[in-house]
Chains A and B, each alone.
Chain A
Amino acid sequence: MNLLDVSNLHASVATDAGPQPILKGLNLTVKPGEVHAIMGPNGSGKSTLANVLSGRPGYAVDDGEAVLDGRNLLDLEPFERAQIGMFLAFQYPVEIPGVSNMEFLKASIDSLARARGEEQPNTANFMRQVRELAGSLDLDPAFLKRGVNEGFSGGEKKRNEIMQLLLLNPKLALLDETDSGLDIDALKTVADGVNRYRSQSNGVVLITHYQRLLDYIVPDYVHVLSNGQIIESGDKGLALELEAKGYAWLT
């Protein structure tokens, strides 16, 4: 069975001037164990795809469907999508003063456990696990007491997203420009985290501008998104070709 099936997806974003169509018949299939990279010029709809699949308010699905592990995603609230195994690593993780990282992570893991009828983790074990994960991503465990993403550098925010990915262990990870704003060391740390997450039972959709990330997270497929549709697909060689030639020869 496919992990993710997106077919003929049409979606628009709400603007002051009315709905603006962005995705215009997008098709994408991800099987368990696969990593798909989605590249494309600015404005092609990359982030919209991530936002529509994760249920961010402000977008309307006009046609088509998206099925995750047999469930129609587009009918579900964002929290329900997370509960069936969807995860979005944010391009711009949100700062939430007054809510500590630890409190947030515990609320999240408890919600997911409840929804799945699983036992909620023992607090002491949970805290140990979180500290270890934080350490493995070069995050100072002291940050767990601070507000969610509060005062974090860009790189810390992205590493926090990857820590959540490893902790929540979703079926599908959507990474929206997780590499943007990272220096080379942070990029390696983030890529290492994603590689630790990868398994034969889950999938990764990697949205990126740059081929560089794909040196560290090697994709099975590379797709080029342009004007709301995937216009070219290939293996990692396609990314190298794009790096050398740009997008113009395709669009």
Chain B
Amino acid sequence: MADLALPQTLTLSEDFASALGEPVATLDEVVQQALNSAAHRERWKYTKADRFLAQTSASAKPPQISNENQIGVSWQRQPIAQPMSGLDLQQAPEAFARLCFAGEAMRLDITAPVTEPITLVHSENTLPVMIYVSANASLSLIEIIEGHEEMQQSVWIDIGPNAQVLHSRNALNDTPASWQYLNVRLQDAARYRLNNHALGCGIRRQDLHIIMDGQGAEAKLVSAGMVDNKAALDQQITMEHRQPKGHSEQTIHNIVANGGKCTFNGRIHIHEGASGTDAQLSNKNLGMGDNATINTKPELEIYTDDVSCSHGATVGTLSKEALFYLTSRGIDQTAAQALLSQGFLRQCIDGPLAATALEAMIGPQNTSDEH
């Protein structure tokens, strides 16, 4: 396998470079090594990294934001002067490269409980977004990925003690390649919930790195994906429990149909000392039609006793029992299959973007009548 490389030399601001703790002179080499490490190769095993790496240096614009004029909200463009919390060059060298190439980020500060949801719309390659949520603050964040060009988004969220973020994201656009990198750090008793809805496209890559970096933090991830008509979706999730008494719960349902390809890697890493952790992950995949490809791999790394951890991945087809039950009530085979597959996804479609997601993933929602 050829070596992976960035499209051009990294340039860093002095502040950023000095705060990084890596020798700047050899930073390109460090990134190059990280890109070619065994762990990184594994993360990009089923999706070619080259195309995404090439795009990391593309020009980027701020996402469109709405409802930013509220008390407790500030939104500004600023140079990237220091590494953000949760930055791990080894874990995500390509996300680090995006930060360096962009040189600037959009910074959103939330300093109070915010009543109206804040919406970010990404309709092209967008600048990295850094969101800092102060202690005791709360935010409902809506993210919509749209447009038909190749695009990348990276979002870093740092949630302060006892603060809360409800995050809803729809990535339902059709584009040759789309990458969403999301990094969330939770401090003491912080709470985070993500409702993610994704359609496959040429190739959609979603990286999610959640760091439980405070005692008693709670994270819940619910995701529904539909990968049809030779589209592709690659989801890589790392849930890191670094502190005691964290609770994480992940439920990911994906349907893969008609030549679609879906890759899921769900890693739970429980560090030494993170006792009393409760971490649950369930990934269910439904293969339908001809030639669906599903790769799913749950990974557990546990370095402490006294944890409760469950971890499951299934690949299957529609339940014959359920199909028979529905058809025995007069519902024909095709309609019964549609009901079951919709039900499978609907279990993971929720939050303020649920209606749009249902419409895009399942079809028109008309609970009244179907003439």
Chain A residues within an 8 Å CB radius of B45:
none
Chain B residues within an 8 Å CB radius of A186:
none
**Interface status of A208 (Cβ within 8 A of chain B):** no
**Interface status of B302 (Cβ within 8 A of chain A):** no
Given contacts A99-B342, A103-B367, A107-B335, A79 and B347 within 8 Å (CB-CB):
no
Q: Which parts of A136-182 form the interface with B (CB within 8 Å)?
A: 147-148, 164, 168
Some 26 contacts from A to B, beta carbons below 8 A apart, are: A56-B324, A57-B324, A79-B327, A79-B329, A79-B332, A79-B333, A82-B329, A87-B328, A88-B328, A93-B325, A96-B322, A96-B325, A96-B326, A97-B347, A98-B342, A99-B342, A103-B339, A107-B331, A108-B326, A111-B330, A112-B330, A120-B369, A120-B371, A122-B369, A123-B369, A168-B329
Sorted from nearest, which 3 A-B pairs have the closest CB atoms?
Answer: A98-B343, A82-B330, A99-B343
**Interface status of B368 (Cβ within 8 A of chain A):** yes
The CA-CA distance from A123 to B367 in the complex, in Å, is 9
Chain B residues within an 8 Å CB radius of A108:
326, 329-331
The CA-CA distance from A147 to B326 in the complex, in Å, is 13
In the complex, the answer to whether A168 meets B330 with C-beta atoms within 8 Å is yes
Given contacts A57-B320, A111-B332, A96 and B340 within 8 Å (CB-CB):
yes
The CA-CA distance from A246 to B320 in the complex, in Å, is 36
Q: Which parts of B296-324 form the interface with A (CB within 8 Å)?
A: 319-322, 324
For B329, B330, B344, B370, the residue with the greatest tally of chain A CB atoms inside 10 Å of its CB is: B330
For B321, B322, B328, the residue with the greatest tally of chain A CB atoms inside 10 Å of its CB is: B328
What's the count of A-B pairs with C-beta under 8 Å? 87
Interface size class of A (residues with CB under 8 A): 20 to 34
**Interface status of B95 (Cβ within 8 A of chain A):** no
Chain B residues within an 8 Å CB radius of A78:
324, 327-328
A162 nearest CB across to chain B (Å): 14
Chain A residues within an 8 Å CB radius of B327:
77-79, 82
Chain A residues within an 8 Å CB radius of B325:
90, 93-94, 96, 148
Chain A residues within an 8 Å CB radius of B342:
98-99
